[in-house]
Amino acid sequence: MESLNREPDLRVRIGPLVLPNPVGVASGTFGYGQEYQDLVDIDALGALYTKAVSIDPKSGNRPPRLVETPSGLINSIGLANPGLPAFLDEKIPYLQSLGCPVVVNVVGETESEYTTIVEAIEKRIGVPREGMKGPVDGYELNLSCPNVEKGGMAFGTEPELVERITRKVRKITRRALVVKLSPNVTDIAQIALAAEAGKADAVSCINTVVGMAIDVKTCKPLIARGIGGLSGPAIRPIGVACVWKVARAVRIPVIGLGGIGCANDALEYLLAGASAIQVGTAIFSNPRAPLEILEGVKTWMRERGVEKLKDIPSLFRFPS
């Protein structure tokens, strides 16, 4: 094993999009970027996956929306977001100013809402130009949010629906198309295959795990809606296993997330077959986590003489 004395190649290709490095910030944990601009060098990120955008503004679920559990965080935000028109008018100009790739997380209550949102954004920003970073460089279809009655996870548990929605959106954009998967299914590989069949460029997994916590003093759930989505270190082994299963099943890149807080966590996902990763809950505790993770991955690659990020999965010593 020889160490590397030049910078390792960290680029990741997601369909037409080349990420400068594998470390992104997960949807719902980083707003639309602006909220963190004082604390994080956003331009240095591999990608920014925005808070979900729905057609109409959503005020979200009744509080309390958060509870910390052992090594985890249950949230039930309910996709609170300003809605498509406000996204187009107020968020796009800011996203245009960023130096990192931007992937817009899209959510709908009906199938046609996904296409309506992507169509409206495409119309606003025009066709992608070769080598030019737009205000939006790709879409992440949220077929996996556990915190709403309609849409989200309700779509992501049916392979036929996943394929159909993906195919419909594929027809209206040449930008990168990612489908975000839920672990709350019997066989996540089946859902990933459906996204691939619908011509997605990548899948991201996992969204949060359905969870519940109860206050035994008041005999009430600690989240107003009862159940919520569990994130944080508690779900990392679930995420790593899901990525491993999905990466063996599909040929498109897998973006891994779920409980990544340090470089070693990210490396677990990369070894399991992820092409890129996202950091979520860890940002709340340490906004510097994504860029610290990037440095740690680079150091690991240099020490082991790994030239290219895409070579990491081949280092996984496990019969497949």
Partner 1 sequence: MAPGASAVATIPVPKLDRPGPSPDNADKKPMMRQFNAPVVFNQVVSQGWKLLAFSWPEGLTPPIPGQFFTFNPQGLQAGEAGLLRRPLAFAFFGRGLAFALYQIRGKATQALAAFAEGGSLDLIAPLGNSFPQPLADEQVFLAGGGIGIGPLLYLRSSFHGVEAAGAGVSILPSRTGKLFLGFRSASQIPSFTLAAERWEKQNQEANGAARHPKPYRQPVLAGLADLQLCLDQAFIATDDGSKGFKGTVVDALLQDSAQTAPIATATRIYACGPAPMLSALDALALERGSPAHLSAEQWMACGVGACQGCVLPARAGGYLRACADGPVFPQGAILWKA
The catalytic residue positions are: 145
Residue 54 lies near partner 1 (rule: CB under 8 A): no
Residue 206 assigned ligand-binding role: yes
Q: Which stretch binds partner 1 (CB under 8 A): 106-114, 135-143, 285-293, 296-304?
A: 285-293
- Contact letters for partner 1, residues 126-155 (x by CB under 8 A): ------------------------------
Token code pair at residue 287: 């906004």
Among 3, 7, 18, 35, binds partner 1 (CB under 8 A): 35
11, 65, 107, 217, 262 from 222: Cα distances, Å: 42, 8, 26, 11, 28
Residue 259 assigned ligand-binding role: yes
Residue 147 assigned ligand-binding role: no
Among 21, 29, 207, 208, binds partner 1 (CB under 8 A): 29
3-state secondary structure the chain: CCCCCCCCECCEEECCEEECCCEEECCCCCCCCHHHCCCCCHHHCCEEECCCECCCCECCCCCCCEEEECCEEEECCCCCECCHHHHHHHHHHHHHCCCCCEEEEECCCCHHHHHHHHHHHHHHHCCCCCCCCCCCCEEEEECCCCCCCCCCHHHHCCHHHHHHHHHHHHCCCCCEEEEECCCCCCCHHHHHHHHHHCCCCEEEECCCEEEECEECCCCEECCCCCEEEEECHHHHHHHHHHHHHHHHHCCCCEEEECCCCCHHHHHHHHHHCCCEEEECHHHHHCCCHHHHHHHHHHHHHHHHCCCEHHHHHHHCCCCC
Q: How far apart are CA 303 and CA 198, in angstroms?
A: 40
Residue 20 lies near partner 1 (rule: CB under 8 A): no
Residue 80 lies near partner 1 (rule: CB under 8 A): yes
Among 77, 98, 266, 297, binds partner 1 (CB under 8 A): 77
Chain positions 218 to 277 lying near partner 1, rule: CB under 8 A, are 232-233, 261
Smaller CB separation from partner 1, 41 or 187: 41
Count of residues of this chain found to bind partner 1 when the rule CB under 8 A is applied:
36
Residue type, 258: G
The answer to whether 32 and 38 have CB atoms below 8 angstroms apart is no
Smaller CB separation from partner 1, 50 or 166: 50
Residue 78 assigned ligand-binding role: yes
Among 3, 18, 56, 71, binds partner 1 (CB under 8 A): 71
Residue 285 lies near partner 1 (rule: CB under 8 A): yes
- CA neighbor of 202 nearest in space, from 258, 277, 271, 115: 277
Smaller CB separation from partner 1, 5 or 218: 218
Smaller CB separation from partner 1, 32 or 162: 32
Q: Which stretch binds partner 1 (CB under 8 A): 56-64, 90-98, 298-306, 309-317?
A: 56-64
Residue 29 assigned ligand-binding role: no
Among 20, 64, 83, 296, binds partner 1 (CB under 8 A): 64
Token code pair at residue 174: 């040449």
Residue 99 assigned ligand-binding role: no
The least distance separating partner 1 from the CB of residue 312, rounded to whole angstroms, comes to: 25
Token code pair at residue 156: 């992501």
Binding site residue list for FMN: 27, 51-52, 105, 142, 180, 206, 232, 258-259, 280-281
Binding-site annotation: residue ranges:
27, 51-52, 75-79, 105, 142, 180, 206-208, 232, 258-259, 280-281
Residue ranges in contact with partner 1 by CB under 8 A:
28-31, 35-36, 38-39, 41, 51, 59-60, 62-68, 70-73, 75, 77, 80, 232-233, 261, 281, 283-288
